[in-house]
Structure 1
């Protein structure tokens, strides 16, 4: 049985899967190709996503006899792209932390043989407010911009997240950074903030707690 009319048009369209993902794929492409930041797709489409996903699943079930399994997989993958990106973000964060811990142990071994007892390492906890970060694709971009900044070697831990309060919106990032002096910490903070802004997101320091460690 061949499809005709509207079902045929819909079966060859990516519109419904794309809308069901809150246009996550478009935001990912924008983040990769431009420095425009968040386009706000999730702010508008997010509240309707459960309904759109339900419609997509019903439509996919009805169209199973008429469309290829390959297209079904592509369609569902596109619709659930936010969940896939979230898993990707979590996996990359875990790998980054593991690599950072290995580097820390190696650096610590080198410093123990070269630093005097009077040397001080300053550790700081930085929290950034990023009000224009609106989806997991933006979390991915913010993470990449922070970990790719010039002072990335001084960042010991980093995580970004979306605010759970829909009314507040936006998101935040928390970093643990180390430096030789308070002035160096300030310079690192400036570079991190500038890197996030260069990626297209508004960013300001919400809090900075500095502790001196011998």
Structure 2
């Protein structure tokens, strides 16, 4: 073997290793997506927002200063963003508070082996500006519809940049009952529904917490969406 070939072999092996790792990551994301279903898209859930803003440039170092909470989430587990539509738990049987401890609401009790744990991190997540009369839009990729959807908002005085989210910080502000996918707004890639809500007395930063109970089986989805109420 020539000395030139020997010199280039380590670099080639490194390149092949990186390429193989990228293919495994993509295959995992595509496989998981096949069994996933949706998210809150407006105001966006934390991982949907991170994917929407940075999915095409998730290795851009400027994210660390422009969007530091998304940066730490991408570093912790990129699959939490690629699989933005898979943040659920099964067989909760409606006992949401028993299944999900305080401080773990945004990750659905560290579901999926802790994949979404970084979404529980306390800090200044990018927040969508909203009026106190607003709506939550849920996207259902698999067209399963809902047994119910419940929308909560943090109580006035709660500071999501300094406090971890617990059930006692939330107030139910809106809900809908059984709603088949045929009654949702139809789209080429799935269906959407908007749930009107009102958060009187709220100003400043808050978390909108949405529980979507899908109709096809006992599968519960949990979304933390950061907002700023004017």
**What is the TM-score normalised by the length of structure 2?**
0.28
Question: Which structure shows the higher helix fraction?
Answer: 1
Question: Which structure shows the higher strand fraction?
Answer: 2
Larger Rg: 1
